[in-house]
Each structure stands twice: as structure tokens, then as C-alpha cells.
């Protein structure tokens, strides 16, 4: 019943802000239009459509704001007026009051803000769907940014996630593609990361990890976390200075090389994904500053993605084969990963992928209609039964953000040529001599622990059947001899491996 009430409220807000005009644009006289006609008296159509859409999403709550943020990065798919309004959702969501902010500080630390900080500005400098940011000064004079969770968020998010799960269940049962797309798993993945955003201690830990990954990097700066001033509802970190990445003309006036900035963004993305397997999954323009030297500055760490070594390997294989236009390798990688049914014909999948991808190569971003490409890829995946990978949903979202950011910075950016050298270098490091050396160094401590135990383990293994020695047949003796030979061979390989590691360590040092 609660979900049904929430659904009615969503419908009422949509009609109130005149959003039904978007849904009914293609069929203004159909049954849905007739059903909604009695609600027309509640419409407010004085404002422009983009403003109404933004305000409706703000009214509906944080999940819908997140959806608007993702849409705002896709200027190639949206009219300019709507994209401009949705961009305000990145950091211009209406803030909660200064009184509430001060109350949240006092609840978190058990004392008023004046006793926690040397100075605290109760007016928010940025406000988003989950939290807002205030400037402060720590005892001793260190400038800081304080992120405060919006009060009363959890019940609203729980209701909306329940509604999304119900909708996903209907999709699975009523739509032919429902099971293949795994909508409930996708909603579950989204819910997990959204719940993570509600714990600012987890966000602080993510920021600390990302800062450590990019320590000393000329590409990306990450603020330091001040742990003594962090709780699950309040996060305090180093105050960062820079210009929002969306203010391209201002960056040009500062002398920032915009073309290089776009290329650096691509490199940062691939470094996070393939080197670290830990990536910023909410890289919309509201979360990124740029320093006067052209260094990116990350600001928000509520949504972070992780990838296993297996995921990274398959992704790298797909990306690299795609950049080399080796569509057969792309098809084989999908088959090896189990993303398509085992009976899929590789040649047919290869031809379908070539048909979709070949027209977009050797073109800058401004000439690629990604909406059409995505539609054709979806049609291809449906035809071949490609299963959606829920663990990669955040990566797909991040790719859309990166592509949208690259288009905004430099429409002439050649995404493929920028990314290919980095991926080739990464593959060489993983599969070549360096990859072997790294694997040996990683496994060596375990070998060093195991090798001294081998004589005792071998003796125990070989002595296991002595109680039945009088009844051993010729076949059993032969089997025992084969076991001994395998064991000796295994021990020899292990000893040689340890010696090789020691030689390699000497060579490396």
C-alpha cells in the first residue's frame, strides 16, 4: 500500500509540473492522455519545460535528482534548454537551512559547531541530493570543507528503492527482455551504492584510498581527510581551490590547455579502472574542479566503483580489440566471459558488432551520435541474448559521464586514439615480463612460507596408506609410484620457482 501511495504521489507531481507533455508528445490523444486529463487543473505551466523538469526531480527526492544528474551530462541526447537546467542539479539543489546544518553538527559531535571548529560558515557553498558543503576553519587555522548529510534522508530513499524494486520486478515478468537485462540486480547494485552514500565515514575512507592511489600525480588532486572531525553524518576534509570544469572559457582565460585537459580526463579514467580497479563513479562536472596548472581536483566520493582482476582483464581485452577494430576478438571475449549463450555463432556476433561500431571510428566526438550507437548496441545485445553485468553498471554510468565531459571540453577529441596507447601499455604490463615479475613478487611470500613445510607434508602424504600395505596390489603400487613422481615434480617446480624469484629480485634491484 505504501508503494502504491508513493507511486500516486510521483504521478501527481509529474502532472503538476506538466511532465506528461514529455510522455505524451508522440501520442497526445491516446488512452493515457485521456486518463490524465482530469488532473490538468493542477498543472503549473508558467515556467519553461526545463525548469519544470528540474523542479519536479528536486521535489521527488534524491534518487530522481541522481537520475537528472546523469541526464545532464548527455548534451548530445538532450535539447540545450533541458540540459542547462538539469546541470543545476549537480551542485545547485536547494540547501537545507543553516539552523538544520548547525543542529546536525551538534548531533554528530555532541557539542555546538563553535566548540568543534575555530570558525564555521552556516551558509552552504554547494548543495546536492544527498548532502551539502560548508566552509570551516579547524583549530590551528587549517581551512576545511565540511560535508553534512541531509536530515531525514533514509526513509525517503528506502521508499523510492522499494518502488524501483517493484518496477524492476514488473519489468522482469512482463517484458520479454526483462530477465536478460537483470533489472532487479541493477536496482540492487544501485541501492548498495546509494546506501553507501548515506555513511560519510565510508565516503571519507574512499577519498583517502583515492588520494593514496594518486599520491604525487600531476593529473589528479584529492583532498586530505581530517579523521578527527568525521562521523557517519559529517565529513571534514581539506578545502580545495580551483575552477569548476564546466567553466571552459574561464579556464581558457587562466591559460589551461583545454585539449590536454580532455586527454588527461581520459587517462585518469583508465588509470583508475585498469591500474587500481577502484574508480570515481560520479564524475559529473559539479564534482570536479581544475587548478590553474590544469590538474583535476576531485571533490565528491560518495559513489565509488570496484572491479575484480577478472573484470579488468575482460574489459581491457574488449576495449583494446575494439580500438584495433578486431571485432572477432570482441565477440570471442564475450563468449569466454559467459556474457552470451555458449551456442552463439562467433561470426554472426562479429558481423553485428562491426556493423554498429565501424561507422564511429576516425571521427571526433562532435560527429558521433552516441544515442543512435547505444540504441543499435542495445538491439544487437537483445538479438544475441547478451546478459547485463550488474557489477559493471557503475562503470557504464561513469563512461557516459566521461564522454559527456570530454564532449563539453573538446568536441574534437579523438577518444579512441587517446585511450588506445594507455590500454596497450597496461596490457603489456599485465601480460608481459613486467606482469610476470609482479605476479612472482606477489606470490613469493606464500611460497617462502610453504617451502619449509614440504618435507613434513610429503612424508605424511606418502605414509597415509601404510596400514593396508600387506594388501597392496600391483595397480596400487603403480598408482603410489605415480603419486610420488608427481609430488617430486611439484616440489622441484616450487623450489625452482623460489630460486627464480630470488634471481628476479636481484635483477630488479
Catalytic residues: 282
Task: Please state, as a whole number, how many other Cβ atoms lie within 10 Å of the Cβ of residue 124.
Answer: 21
CA–CA gap between residue 415 and residue 365 (Å, rounded): 7
Distance (Å) of CA 101 to CA 91, 203, 236 = 17, 19, 14
CA–CA gap between residue 394 and residue 281 (Å, rounded): 6
Task: Please say whether the dihedral angle defined by the alpha carbons of residues 327, 333, 336 and 339, taken in this order, is positive or negative.
Answer: negative
Task: Please state, as a whole number, how many other Cβ atoms lie within 10 Å of the Cβ of residue 176.
Answer: 7
Distance (Å) of CA 211 to CA 167, 237, 272, 362 = 38, 12, 11, 35
CA–CA gap between residue 133 and residue 244 (Å, rounded): 15
CA–CA gap between residue 105 and residue 378 (Å, rounded): 47
DSSP label of 64: H
Helix (H) or strand (E) holding 436: helix 433-450
Distance (Å) of CA 423 to CA 74, 97, 271, 316, 358 = 25, 47, 9, 7, 20
CA–CA gap between residue 109 and residue 200 (Å, rounded): 14
Amino acid at each position: 500500500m505504501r508503494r502504491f501511495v508513493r507511486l500516486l504521489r510521483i504521478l501527481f507531481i509529474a502532472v503538476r509540473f506538466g511532465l506528461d507533455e514529455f510522455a505524451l508528445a508522440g501520442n497526445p490523444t491516446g488512452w493515457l492522455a485521456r486518463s490524465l486529463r482530469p488532473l490538468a487543473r493542477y498543472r503549473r505551466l508558467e515556467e519553461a519545460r526545463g525548469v519544470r523538469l528540474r523542479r519536479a526531480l528536486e521535489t521527488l527526492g534524491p534518487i530522481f535528482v541522481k537520475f537528472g544528474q546523469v541526464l545532464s551530462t548527455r548534451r548530445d541526447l538532450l535539447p540545450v534548454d533541458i540540459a542547462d537546467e538539469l546541470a543545476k542539479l549537480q551542485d545547485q539543489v536547494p540547501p537545507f537551512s543553516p539552523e538544520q546544518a548547525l543542529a546536525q553538527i551538534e548531533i554528530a559531535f555532541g557539542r555546538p559547531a563553535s566548540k568543534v571548529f575555530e570558525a564555521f560558515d552556516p551558509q552552504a557553498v554547494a548543495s546536492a541530493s544527498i548532502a551539502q558543503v560548508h566552509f570551516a576553519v579547524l583549530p590551528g587555522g587549517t581551512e576545511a570543507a565540511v560535508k553534512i548529510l541531509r536530515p531525514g534522508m533514509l526513509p525517503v530513499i528506502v521508499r523510492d528503492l522499494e518502488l524501483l524494486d517493484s518496477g524492476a520486478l514488473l519489468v522482469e515478468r512482463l517484458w520479454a527482455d526483462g530477465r536478460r537485462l537483470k533489472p532487479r540486480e541493477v536496482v540492487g547494485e544501485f541501492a548498495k551504492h546509494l546506501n553507501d552514500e548515506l555513511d560519510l565515514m565510508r565516503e571519507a575512507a574512499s577519498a583517502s584510498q583515492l588520494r593514496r592511489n594518486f599520491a604525487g600525480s600531476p593529473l589528479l588532486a584529492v583532498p586530505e581527510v581530517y579523521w578527527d572531525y568525521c562521523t557517519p553524518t559529517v565529513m571534514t576534509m581539506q578545502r580545495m581551490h580551483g575552477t569548476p570544469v564546466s567553466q571552459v572559457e574561464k579556464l581558457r582565460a587562466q591559460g589551461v590547455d583545454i585539449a590536454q585537459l580532455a586527454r588527461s580526463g581520459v587517462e585518469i579514467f583508465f588509470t583508475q579502472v585498469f591500474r587500481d580497479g577502484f574508480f570515481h563513479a560520479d564524475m559529473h562536472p559539479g564534482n570536479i574542479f581544475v587548478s590553474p596548472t590544469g590538474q583535476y581536483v576531485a571533490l565528491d566520493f560518495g559513489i565509488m566503483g570496484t572491479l575484480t582482476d577478472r573484470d579488468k582483464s575482460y574489459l581491457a581485452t574488449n576495449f583494446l580489440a575494439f580500438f584495433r577494430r578486431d571485432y572477432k576478438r570482441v565477440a570471442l571475449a564475450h563468449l569466454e566471459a559467459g556474457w552470451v549463450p555458449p551456442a552463439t555463432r562467433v561470426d554472426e556476433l562479429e558481423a553485428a558488432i562491426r556493423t554498429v561500431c565501424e561507422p564511429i571510428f576516425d571521427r571526433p566526438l562532435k560527429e558521433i551520435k552516441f544515442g543512435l550507437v547505444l540504441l543499435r548496441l542495445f538491439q544487437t545485445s537483445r538479438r544475441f541474448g547478451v546478459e547485463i553485468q550488474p557489477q559493471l553498471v557503475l562503470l557504464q554510468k561513469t563512461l557516459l559521464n566521461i564522454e559527456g565531459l570530454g564532449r563539453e571540453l573538446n568536441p574534437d577529441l579523438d577518444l579512441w586514439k587517446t585511450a588506445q596507447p594507455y590500454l596497450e601499455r597496461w596490457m603489456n604490463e599485465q601480460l608481459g615480463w613486467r606482469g610476470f615479475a609482479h605476479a612472482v613478487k606477489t606470490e613469493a611470500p606464500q611460497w617462502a612460507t610453504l617451502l619449509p613445510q614440504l618435507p613434513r607434508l610429503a612424508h605424511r602424504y606418502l605414509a597415509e596408506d601404510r596400514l593396508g600395505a600387506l594388501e597392496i596390489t600391483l595397480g596400487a603400487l603403480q598408482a603410489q609410484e605415480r603419486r610420488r613422481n608427481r609430488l617430486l615434480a611439484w616440489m622441484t617446480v616450487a623450489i625452482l620457482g623460489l630460486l627464480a624469484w630470488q634471481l628476479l629480485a636481484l635483477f630488479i634491484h
